[in-house]
Structure 1
């Protein structure tokens, strides 16, 4: 029987006062809390399984509220996400939910979040994102980003930019989002990394690739977190490793 193993971790980092990231793995959500030890969940392959990271917008209020709203909505809708249209509809619903929660509440005005993740189906996998959280194919061929950043290109010598051109919620008036969705065939041994920019901003891709090649999923998740902390831990760090087993 084929299975899906998901190893996840979320941490506040060394600079932020609180964790504004949230995670969803199937029906399980982790919102604004800290897990220094990776947690692994195993599911049968078959029904749609959603795995995603939502990163509350820094510099805006209540990012942890926005990210939690999104992952809980995805957890509820997960079993029905069987095609790209359904996935796009749910991401737009998430956008409306975040805007509605902030309406008339000054302490929540402008809250928003990015999101990136994967929906594992019986024979394929859908990658999606809104904002600059990322998804990588971490298979034997090496690390390859398969999500599409909603951000302007960095200005040399900077490798990254904190600006995002599209979010769920946020300061812009309510309008439809245009999520990035791509489908890939699925096979035993496939491995994907879903993460917030708290991992990718301090660590270059080749460092992430090296750690993923050296370690199995549980150890790899820990070593990735450790490397981001040793690089200064400037933001919340959340990641999920998705592996297809036989």
Structure 2
């Protein structure tokens, strides 16, 4: 029987005093926790399986609350995410839930989070994101970015920016979102990397590609994390590697 493997890891990095990232894989969530050792989960291929990361917006209150709320909502509705429209509606619900929670508590008033992930279907993959967390396909030809960063133009000489032009929540008054949602064929020979910018900011995609060519499953996740740490670990690092087996 064909199956899906999800190898996940989440870590605060070296400079943050706590982890504002969260992760969902099917019904399983990690919210603001630390897993230096990659965890691998196995699911049957068939029922829609959502795998996503959410990165609480730094410099604003309670990013970990917003990211945890988002992944728990996605976990609850994951088996029903069988189409692009269902994913868009689920992200809209997440956005409204973040604003509603912020409206109930002044200390949470501007909390927000990015989100990026994929819903694995029997023959296709529905990829989605709001913000600058990423989804990449790992192919024989190299890495291919499947998500679309919601970021302003980069300043001359800069490879990254911490600014985002769209998020779930993050403002005092409600803003609608326009999620990036696309469908791609599910290719068993490929792997898929879902990650926060704590990985992609310090580690260029060319280096990610080299690591993923050299390693698989748990070792690959560990090497990705270690490389981000060796590059200074400036932010929370959360990642999930999706593979298809038979």
Per the shorter chain, which TM-score range?
Answer: over 0.9
1:145 aligns with: 145
* Aligned-partner Cα distance in 2 for 1:115–1:241: 16
Aligned length: 246
* Aligned-partner Cα distance in 1 for 2:155–2:214: 32
1:185 aligns with: 185
Q: Aligned runs of 1:94-243 on 2, under 5 Å?
A: 94-171=94-171, 173-243=173-243
* Aligned-partner Cα distance in 2 for 1:172–1:152: 21
1:27 aligns with: 27
SS in 1 for 2:38: strand
* Aligned-partner Cα distance in 1 for 2:104–2:118: 33
Q: TM-score, normalised by structure 2?
A: 0.98
* Aligned-partner Cα distance in 2 for 1:63–1:23: 13
SS in 1 for 2:198: helix
* Aligned-partner Cα distance in 1 for 2:88–2:15: 34
- Does the CA-based 8 Å contact 2:109-2:172 persist in structure 1? no
Q: Aligned runs of 1:71-86 on 2, under 5 Å?
A: 71-86=71-86
* Aligned-partner Cα distance in 1 for 2:245–2:172: 42
1:54 aligns with: 54
SS in 1 for 2:232: coil
Query: Displacement, 1:107?
Result: 0.9
Query: Displacement, 1:144?
Result: 1.0
Query: Displacement, 1:95?
Result: 0.2
Query: Displacement, 1:190?
Result: 2.1
Query: Displacement, 1:104?
Result: 3.6
Taking a change above 3 Å as real, the CA distance of residues 186 and 222 of structure 1, as seen in their structure-2 partners, is: same
Taking a change above 3 Å as real, the CA distance of residues 137 and 172 of structure 1, as seen in their structure-2 partners, is: farther
* Aligned-partner Cα distance in 2 for 1:24–1:151: 24
- Does the CA-based 8 Å contact 2:136-2:146 persist in structure 1? yes
SS in 2 for 1:219: helix
* Aligned-partner Cα distance in 2 for 1:4–1:104: 39
* Aligned-partner Cα distance in 2 for 1:185–1:168: 27
1:7 aligns with: 7
* Aligned-partner Cα distance in 2 for 1:156–1:97: 37
Q: TM-score, normalised by structure 1?
A: 0.98
SS in 1 for 2:93: helix
* Aligned-partner Cα distance in 1 for 2:7–2:141: 21
* Aligned-partner Cα distance in 1 for 2:44–2:140: 23
Instruction: Provide structure 1 residue ranges, at least 5 long, that are not aligned to the other structure.
Output: none
SS in 1 for 2:139: coil
Segments ≥4 residues shifted beyond 3 Å: none
